[in-house]
Structure 1
Amino acid sequence: MKALFLVSQSPRRIELLRRFGYVFQVISTEFREDKSGEGTPDLALENARGKLREAEDRGEGVYLASDTIVYLDGLILGKPGDREEARDFLRRLSGKVHHVYTGIAVREIPSGRVREELVDTAVKFRDLEEDEIEMMLSFDDPLDKAGAYAIQGIAGLFIESISGSYYNVVGLPMERVYPALKDFGITPVLLSKNRPR
């Protein structure tokens, strides 16, 4: 059975892969993501590629890297630097449709074969009242999340609509990760022919 390496320290990505039955090792990278400000959605894929390039080589296996950004009106809303910036992000998102992009990059060693994809989900917050923004800032750690919110947290109460992958907004679009990893011979343990009996 091939080894799977997740090039991410994200608790949400780790949780999603575990929840869906993948067996993997977490490895870190020194890559510094380019996150906030002007840019294009392609930045998510560029960051995923950068993480994959800089990942510690653990030998043969399949390496999965990803990056998620929130995109609104030509601006990338990365992880906010402080609570005031988080508050500003949530005010900007209020009542508007924004897009969550996740870049996925998968590389197999030693073959060098690569598979990449950029996944887009449209999300609309309803008009947020100031006390609701403060509630989101208090209940969820906004500094650890692109766009300052977690759809799986209290922010989910204020989402009016979503078009696309819910898991993409959480941080890893599992509907796209599954076929990408399957293409390299990696499947969840529950589906594996090599699962323990």
Structure 2
Amino acid sequence: MDRPLILASASPRRAELLRTLGVPFSQRPSCIPEEIRTGERPEQFVLRLAVEKAQAGSADPRTRCLILGCDTVVVSGSRILGKPRDRAEGREMLLTLAGRSHLVLSGLALWILPENQWAFGVSETKVTFHPLPAAAVESYLSTEEYRDKAGAYALQGAAALFVDRIEGSATNVIGLPLDLLPRLLRQLGLWFPEA
């Protein structure tokens, strides 16, 4: 790429996934309210937050750079599960997901500056959990791994044992869908063209 990449996220998981691509980047965490709006569908919600995070990651819109904003949520039925506020909410989320399938949605927004060009998209992965005994949930909660995780679990950690199957991108479940990112870069002319 011919310009610096800024990851508008404090997530160490997203940074680790981005590092695997060998692309240099800097992190500029963005703090925005993560409240769902009335009537907003989950896909709209994650995409809006990804765009807002990218915008918040810009120190100066005249600076030549590429900003990546991301947001991930878990959807169980029609309910959006963001990050649990506390252990009790984490427990409730995990018990809701136990023995069932749910969706993980990640919105990505790429913003080229100073040209003000955008590319964005949503990745969807279906995850099915095994039935979870209450003792397994309590043991997992004791690790504190659930904190700051959509749906109260981290696929790359001990919660991997909860998963029966994944249909779609595993990196999406971790927070940065590496299948979607190159497509968005191509849309902006910043990646190898399709053969």
Could you tell me the TM-score, scaled by structure 2's length? 0.89
Higher mean C-alpha displacement, 75-84 vs 35-44:
35-44
Q: How does 1:37-186 map to 2 (within 5 A)?
A: 40-41=41-42, 42-58=44-60, 59-184=63-188, 186=190
How far did 1:36 drift? 11
Q: Check conservation: 1:48, 1:65, Cα contact below 8 A.
A: yes
Q: Supply the distance in 2 between the matched residues of 1:36 and 1:77 (Cα, whole angstroms).
A: 14
Give the ranges of 4+ consecutive aligned residues of structure 1 lying more than 3 Å apart after TM superposition: 35-39, 182-187
Q: Supply the distance in 2 between the matched residues of 1:44 and 1:167 (Cα, whole angstroms).
A: 16
Question: 5+ unaligned residues in a row in structure 2: which ranges?
Answer: none
Q: Supply the distance in 2 between the matched residues of 1:54 and 1:82 (Cα, whole angstroms).
A: 26
Question: 5+ unaligned residues in a row in structure 1: which ranges?
Answer: 192-197
Higher mean C-alpha displacement, 127-136 vs 166-175:
127-136
1:57-95 CA-to-partner distances (Å, cap 9, x unmatched) read 351111100100000111111110110110000000001
1:18 maps to a residue whose letter is: R
**Which residue number in structure 1 is paired with residue 15 of structure 2?**
14
Q: Supply the distance in 2 between the matched residues of 1:128 and 1:36 (Cα, whole angstroms).
A: 32
Higher mean C-alpha displacement, 17-26 vs 160-169:
17-26
Alignment RMSD (CA, Å): 2.1
Among the aligned pairs, what percent are the same residue? Answer: 36
Could you tell me the TM-score, scaled by structure 1's length? 0.88
Q: Supply the distance in 2 between the matched residues of 1:7 and 1:157 (Cα, whole angstroms).
A: 30
Q: Check conservation: 1:100, 1:121, Cα contact below 8 A.
A: yes
